[in-house]
Structure 1
Amino acid sequence: MIEATRTLARALADDNRLRALAALSGGELCLCQLVELLGLAPSTVSRHMSELRRAGLVAARKDGRWVHYRLEASGPAAGALDWTLRGLAHDPCVRADARRLARIRRRDPSELCRSQCR
């Protein structure tokens, strides 16, 4: 139980992971959309998402070359996720991310990926 709690706490102790969780509260996103939102390298975002998966906060599905992430928590992780998202709801950075994400969602993910690989 201590190890699971430590893993969960570690996952929540990073601004970019918190931003990713807040973004996923609006629905599933592919890695390239998260890369565009966070402004980080794909490998960095992938590592952040792995940390969130290990903590039981996020699930992933592979669709060809695409990896899609969604919130999926149960037990103690679900309570922590709910508490975290409520706490982030009025954060200025998260609100700015939501506006930016609305624009990102309108773009074709394959176009996003191509532009990131240049």
Structure 2
Amino acid sequence: MTTRTGSVPEVEQLLEVFKALANPVRLQILGWLREPEENFLEERGRMVVEAGVCVSHIQAKAGLAQSTVSAYMASLQRAGLVRATRVGKWTHYRRDEERIAGIVEILGRSL
């Protein structure tokens, strides 16, 4: 089934993305993760490139409770905007650039 803006799965994908990005802090976090080496100095090096930024560093930069940041990151992950990687007891996040490009393409076709 399709709608005027695209297939139902595409519309549902966009709605999940819009919900995730409707929160200004989640939008800001996604922006920070675009250039992790610039925004998370303490994370420079191998871990930023390979695993992403530790949730504790995102929490410190955002100035929010760990539970709030974890919920925000889960929302971004459900929307397909970030990927999570476990490193020991810590969760690291990085943007899913391929998925973001796909979402931008769907959005371009839909509007």
Gapped regions of structure 2 (runs ≥ 5)? 1-9, 37-51, 105-111
Q: Which residue of 2 aligns with 1:10?
A: 19
Choose between structure 1 and 2: higher strand proportion.
2
User: RMSD of aligned C-alpha atoms?
Assistant: 1.6
Q: Which residue of 1 aligns with 2:101?
A: 78
The TM-score normalised by the length of structure 2 is 0.66
For these two proteins, the number of residue pairs brought into alignment is 80
Does the 8 Å contact 2:20/2:75 carry over to 1?
Answer: yes
Match of 1:37 among 33, 58, 61: 61
Q: Which residue of 2 aligns with 1:56?
A: 80
Residues 9-64 of structure 1 show CA distances to partners (whole Å, capped at 9, x for unaligned) of: 11111111011111111132100000001111001000100110111110010011
**Match of 1:74, SS?**
helix
Deviation at 1:70, TM superposition (A): 0.2
Gapped regions of structure 1 (runs ≥ 5)? 82-118
Give me the whole-angstrom Cα distance separating, in 1, the residues matched to 2:25 and 2:95: 15
The TM-score normalised by the length of structure 1 is 0.62
Percent of paired sites with the same residue? 39
Extract structure 1 runs of 4+ deviating beyond 4 A: none
